[in-house]
Amino acid sequence: MSYDFDLFVIGAGSGGIAAARRAAEYGAKVGIAESGRLGGTCVNRGCVPKKLLVYASHFPAYFEEAQGYGWQVGERHLDWSKLIRAVDNEVTRLNGIYQRMLDNSQVQVFRDRGVFVDAHGIQVGDRKVTADKILIAVGGKPTKPDNIPGIEYAITSDEMFHLPHQPRRFVVLGGGYIGVEFASILNGLGSQVTQIIRADQILRGFDEDIRTQIHEGMAKHGVQFLSGTEGIAIEKTESGLKIHVQSGDQETVVEADGVSLAATGRIPNIQNLGLENTQVEVRQGAIAVNPQSQTAVDHIFAVGDCTDRINLTPVAIKEGRAFADAHFGGKSWQMSYDNVPTAVFSNPEAATVGLTEAEAVERYGAEAIKIYRSRFRPMYYTLPDKDEKTLMKLIVNQETDRVLGAHMVGDDAAEIIQGVAIALKMGATKADFDATVAIHPSAAEEFVTMR
């Protein structure tokens, strides 16, 4: 049987584009469907515009610190519209780059939604195409709690990049990655930020020391946390929003401008995809796949957030490339989910790779684990005389001397942990860290001098 395409990809986000280009480079005839802007969540309403706003939010602190180094800093104010426009222009530039990359790889781009009509057939706009293999790479989308009356007044991260005005009073519901990043951004840009979290601390699942350090750091920078608190209703008023919250049997009201952000998690974006016209299995709201990203149907595969494994852009890209290498390049390899580094671009920033202390204790027993910690004021903050601290933590298996986890909170944590992640991936021991000569003076050197 002949098909229109060797591979058809539904969704031109990080995973879909990586797989499509790699397969086309091996000579496969590839089509890709995307109804939104090319690049998916990461480029359009995630990592990229978020990181640009993170950079913008650091300037007030830099202006203050510059004075410790003898600089006189004059009048300054933020032009919100200019910032939002500049970020959007950069996203548009990247959309163009993705289009050119797909064109250069001779991937045929369909600017429409792809919907399964049968196991080999996909409706894209008014066309039906067929493909030998199909890759689902449709990503995820924000979800809001459905038990809070008035939740429709809260926006999600999707809308955060196009706010016409800077909110003066900004309320965040949720204490995950997205909540802490936007709380830090708006706080840095000068908004008054309240973050409502139902746990006692932000970032459930991260190492406890790291959670505490970020939480305290953000609070010191001015974010007001309402811990152990749930939003119970949102009410629209003349001047903005009233968010009714409950902590134990205490009820209070927090006021926001027109916007409050619901950062309460993301779910696979697999509705209206025509999956019912295939035998693809959906488990707990996500597309079920084996370690080769294969669904219950032999020739249909899925990568990225729609499979709800580790929901990070670089993971989706690797999953996409592993699929293309195996099926179009004759090079079979399996994506490894061990020691996947990740960063939270909060202020202070955090990054981590490997096991948390709690995970290490659970896996190897408390006696087998040795913890190394270093908490210090980086040299940069001495002249501005600011009480900013960096925390670094290593988790070591005493029996094998292997470093099981490396965690950091502080400036450049993501840049530093990326290198440490290579060491962990290679199975480095504490003796290997100790044998490495420090770069002095740097903050990173603490990772090789901890005793």
Which residues participate in the annotated binding site for FAD?
Answer: 51, 114
Asked if 150 interacts with ligand NDP (CB under 6 A), we say: no
Find the residue with minimal CB distance to ligand NDP: 176
Residues of span 285-314 touching ligand NDP by CB under 6 A: 311-312
Q: Is 221 a catalytic residue?
A: no
**Smaller CB distance to ligand NDP: residue 195 or 295?**
195
CA 229 to centroid of chain Cα atoms: 24
Please select the residue that binds ligand NDP; options are 44, 184, 213, 264, rule is CB under 6 A. 264
**Smaller CB distance to ligand NDP: residue 175 or 268?**
175
Residue 193 backbone zone (phi > 0: left; psi -120 to 50: alpha; other: beta):
beta
Please select the residue that binds ligand NDP; options are 343, 351, 391, 395, rule is CB under 6 A. 343
CB of 167 to ligand NDP, least distance (A): 19
**Dihedral of the CA atoms 259, 263, 267, 272 (nearest 10)?**
0
- Cα angle 136, 12, 278 (rounded to 5 degrees) comes to 20
**Smaller CB distance to ligand NDP: residue 121 or 405?**
405
End-to-end CA distance of the chain: 65
Asked if 14 interacts with ligand NDP (CB under 6 A), we say: no
Q: Which of 215, 327, 407, 440 is catalytic?
A: 440
**Smaller CB distance to ligand NDP: residue 246 or 374?**
246
Q: Which amino acids are annotated as binding site for NAD(+), given as ranges?
A: 174-181, 265, 305
DSSP, collapsed to helix, strand or coil, labels residue 264 as coil
CB of 243 to ligand NDP, least distance (A): 11
User: Do the bridges between strand 300-302 and strand 169-173 make them parallel or antiparallel, or are there none, so unpaired?
Assistant: unpaired
- Supply 216's token pair: 């305290």
Amino acid at 22: R
Single out the segment in contact with ligand NDP by CB under 6 A; choices: 30-38, 212-220, 257-265, 427-435. 257-265
CB of 57 to ligand NDP, least distance (A): 15
**Dihedral of the CA atoms 248, 252, 255, 261 (nearest 10)?**
20
Asked if 263 interacts with ligand NDP (CB under 6 A), we say: yes
DSSP, collapsed to helix, strand or coil, labels residue 107 as coil
CB of 176 to ligand NDP, least distance (A): 2
Please select the residue that binds ligand NDP; options are 113, 120, 211, 266, rule is CB under 6 A. 266
CB of 421 to ligand NDP, least distance (A): 14
- Supply 128's token pair: 């039906």
Residues of span 177-236 touching ligand NDP by CB under 6 A: 177-179, 181, 197-199, 204, 230
Residues with Cβ within 8 Å of residue 83, at least 6 apart in sequence: 53, 56
Asked if 243 interacts with ligand NDP (CB under 6 A), we say: no
Q: Which residues of 12-45 are buried (b: 16+ CB within 10 A; e: fewer)?
A: bbbbbbbbbbbbbbbebbbbbbbebbbbbbbbbb
Asked if 141 interacts with ligand NDP (CB under 6 A), we say: no
CB of 53 to ligand NDP, least distance (A): 12
**Smaller CB distance to ligand NDP: residue 146 or 276?**
146
Nearest CA-CA partner of 117 in 307, 297, 273: 273
Residue 61 burial (CB < 10 Å; 0-12/13-18/19+)?
middle
Give me the sheet containing 390-397, strands edge to edge: 342-344, 350-354, 403-409, 390-397, 369-376
d(CA 45, CA 368): 43
**Smaller CB distance to ligand NDP: residue 53 or 107?**
53
Single out the segment in contact with ligand NDP by CB under 6 A; choices: 23-31, 128-136, 260-268, 327-335. 260-268
CB of 230 to ligand NDP, least distance (A): 6
**Smaller CB distance to ligand NDP: residue 312 or 322?**
312
Give how many residues touch ligand NDP by CB under 6 A.
Answer: 24
Residue 133 to residues 29, 149, 245, 277, 408: CA-CA distances in angstroms?
11, 44, 49, 16, 42
What are the catalytic residues? 440
Contact footprint for ligand NDP (CB under 6 A): 145, 173-179, 181, 197-199, 204, 230, 263-266, 311-312, 342-345
